[in-house]
Amino acid sequence: MAVNGFITWLCNLVTRLRFTDVETCYKLFRRSLIQEIAPGLKENRFGIEIEMTAKLARRSKQNGTRFFERPISYQRRSYEEGKKIGWKDGVSALRCIVWYGLFG
């Protein structure tokens, strides 16, 4: 299992959602949902993916918000082509899963 697969699995476990790729960077929300959580968002970089997912998952239990996935296609980039994610982002994602998934 690749690192992203492990991060997705752990995030799904903590949030009780079923995503195939939590770090996809393509997300679509109703404006009202984002306006509710935006003032409290703290993360920069790729941790924002986990923070938003965990906070919206918590709200979904309260207000019945549903999550859907749609397939996307993309071509992976190398670091030479501009890929920006690294091992530190993986560690940050794990920290975010624990913090936002368990504590809010």
pTM for this structure? 0.81
Q: What is the pLDDT of residue 1?
A: 56
Output the pLDDT for position 39.
93
CA distances from 54 to 2, 31, 80 (A): 21, 17, 32
- The H-assigned helical ranges of 16-86 are 31-37, 47-63
The answer for residues whose C-beta is within 8 angstroms of residue 22's C-beta and 6 or more apart is: 7, 8, 11, 12, 49, 50, 53
10-residue mean pLDDT series, the chain (104 residues): 85 91 82 89 89 88 81 79 80 91 81
pLDDT at 40: 92
pLDDT of residue 2: 81
Tell me which residue of 74, 88, 10 sits closest to 44, measured CA to CA. 88
Q: How far apart are CA 31 and CA 22, in angstroms?
A: 20
